[in-house]
Amino acid sequence: MSRHRLYFNLGFGASLAVSLSAFAVEAPTVHVYNWYDYIGPTTLQDFKRDTGIALVYDTFDSAEVLEGKLLTSRSGYDVVVASNFSLPTLIKAGALAPLPREQMPDFKNMDTDLLAKLANNDPGNQYAVPYLWGTNGIGYNIDKVRAVLGDKAPVDSWDLVFKEENLAKLGECGVAMLDSPSEMLPVALHYLGLPPNSTNPEDYKKAEALLLKLRPHIAYFNSSKFISDLSNGNICVAVGWSGAMLEAKTTAEQAGNGVKIAYSLPKEGAPVWFDTLVLLKDAPHPEQGMAFIDYLMRPEVIAPVSDHLNYPNGNRSATTLVAEATRSNPAVYPPAEAMATLFTLQPLPPATERVRTRIWSKVKNGQ
């Protein structure tokens, strides 16, 4: 799930692997593989200072790159940051090692509600612990949406973008959606009252009909362009990731361009995703890998990461250490009633994936 902010801005289209030369390979060492620009500005240096363990730290830019590396060869990594929807595939392939709780004294800090949701992808929470997480929802230009739909615009509902009479009007100021069938089709299914992780082809026909009806009013499907377009007023609504919408909001405020952006988590429910810390089964340095995982479960370590990236973490004990502006923002930390409506996405059988791919191609082409 490519939702990491500088990846968008820099427009990287290929796998990126950047080793930090500051961390010369020396014993003891841990090899870590993470999304690009998805760590605190001093976290790695602090880890080496506090533990005496050096790092070899490489980065990637898509879940496909990560899975390809882990499933086709010995990667040489100890710890990897894997999205929750990748976990069932990695677990089934035997790529992950169970996490020994006795080596994770800081596991007690994990949010039990988040662990329960993550268990949908990692039964029993055996292989993964939450790192950062977020939601998929609606980012919108407050003034433009009000001008088009009035003061009673349903900004708290998927009706804003899935009711044709609303979308037809919003199409005048520009609507964008993620170019991601694995994320958009589940939302469409959920809106129709169908299982978001359905494997029933008839359910997908209904989602296809809905999206094809809406297609003339959607400016484009893209998983990066919407951030800058929303922040500079080129579009007025986007369906995407919580952190991306907050980035657009911050960019507009820093530019002083008068564009006011808000993020809505629809009341009907929405996808919640987790990026998790996992230990590879063939990790060459498992002890150091466990030390790195446990280090990131320390409240004082993970709180600055959330502040830096505008994503909540999976550590309940860290919440009070997160900046007030971040932890009190319901777009970052949804309230309990909103959390109860969130659902996780599941990997689907190949036959269903082919159905989704065909539908998405038709929807993007408008036919």
Per-run averaged pLDDT (10 residues), the chain, 367 residues = 42 40 61 93 97 95 83 90 92 95 93 92 96 96 98 97 98 95 95 97 98 98 93 97 91 97 96 95 96 97 92 94 92 90 90 94 90
* List of residues 6+ apart from 180 with CB closer than 8 A: 1, 223
- Which domains does the chain carry? 5-134+274-336 (3.40.190.10), 135-271+345-365 (3.40.190.10)
Do 315 and 111 touch, CB atoms closer than 8 A? yes
Sort 234 into a burial class: Cβ within 10 Å, 0-12 / 13-18 / 19+.
Answer: middle
d(CA 293, CA 102): 13
- 304/41 Cα distance (integer angstroms): 9
Q: What is the pLDDT of residue 27?
A: 66
Distance CA 13, CA 220 (A): 19
Q: Is 37 left (phi over 0), alpha (psi -120 to 50) or beta?
A: left
Global pTM reads 0.81
Q: Which residues contact 25 (CB under 8 A, 6 or more apart)?
A: 54, 56
What confidence score (pLDDT) does residue 18 get? 42
Look at residue 266 in the predicted model and tell me its pLDDT.
97
